[in-house]
Amino acid sequence: MTALLQAINLSRRFGGVQAVSELTFTVNQGEILGLIGPNGAGKSTVFNLLNGVIAPDTGQIIFDGKDITGLPPYTVARHGIARAHQIMQPLLGLSVLENCMVGACFGRENMNLADAREAAREVAQSVGLGDRINALAGSLTTAGKKRLEMARALSAHPKLLLLDEVLAGLNPTEIEHMIETIRGIRKGGITILMIEHVMRAIMSLSDRIVVINLGKRLAEGTPREIAENPEVITAYLGDSKLLATAEEGAP
């Protein structure tokens, strides 16, 4: 297994809050790595550090053999990291196709407009937005906007896809569809790092899971190991469903 992304001793403080503290983990080529933790554990901050939205105070990020620490988000995107946001950020006044074209044009492959149009159309189709291509992004439903976040990130043909709670707010049917979509993306050769609160989903999707709490790494292992880890259960105090759902969901 080769490492695609290494986060080494990442730390970031906001005023009096140590949001991320000496966090180290590795994402291997081709895997789905789950990042979980209680609310406020620092998961989204980790994503912000990885794709350059904020710079770490200390620590290093190595992606695909290159040091990308402190680079701005648009350069990180060019290196091949794409992100679907937890709070959807569609470009409301542009169409679904144009949204995806932005991803394709300015992502890893730096496509021209014509290539981007084709790539965007294919990806929109593959995530199930094929019939809404000319609709304005603002007119999509919540599930549609989630798919658009994903499609837009995928249009860049990234090496690593950061998925930030893409299942939140979806109904059970939509979650099933999305899980299939995520499996499909991995089969297409894209490595995935995902934050998720829907335990059943993350337990069944992930190859490995990293648990963080208060900005620190609490545990790391396969979904089954994580579910049986007493420290993790304490961190999720009261969430006894964790074990139960893990047992039915684990591969």
Identify which range of 73-81, 194-202, 218-226, 227-235 contacts another protein by CB under 8 A.
73-81
Interface with another protein includes 156 (CB under 8 A)?
A: yes
Closest Cα partner for 66 from 22, 6, 109, 10?
6
183, 197, 216, 224: which one binds another protein (CB under 8 A):
183
Is residue 121 within 8 Å of residue 133, measured between CB atoms?
yes
Judged by CB under 8 A, the stretch of 29-37, 118-126, 210-218, 237-245 that binds another protein is 118-126
Residue closer to another protein (CB basis): 6 or 181: 181
d(CA 103, CA 185): 16
* Residue 65 binds to another protein (criterion: CB under 8 A): no
Provide φ and ψ at 58, rounded to 5°: -140, 170
Least Å from the CB of residue 123 to another protein:
5
Give the list of residues 6+ apart from residue 9 with CB closer than 8 angstroms, or none.
22, 23, 24, 58, 59, 60
- How far is the C-alpha of 72 from the C-alpha of 52, rounded, in Å? 5
Among 58, 74, 240, 241, binds another protein (CB under 8 A): 74
Is there a contact between 27 and 192 (Cβ–Cβ < 8 Å)? no
29 forms part of the interface with another protein (CB under 8 A): no
- Contact between 83 and another protein by CB under 8 A: the answer reads yes
Please give the backbone phi and psi of residue 92, each rounded to the nearest 5 degrees, phi first: -55, -35
Q: Is 77 in the site for another protein (CB under 8 A)?
A: yes
Return the axis-axis angle of helices 142-154 and 113-126, rounded to nearest 10°.
Answer: 130
**In this chain, which of 147, 157, 200, 208 binds another protein, going by CB under 8 A?**
157
Q: Which residues bind another protein (CB under 8 A)?
A: 51, 53, 72-75, 77-78, 82-83, 85, 89-94, 98, 101-103, 105-107, 112-116, 118-119, 122-123, 125-128, 152-157, 177, 180-181, 183-185, 187-190
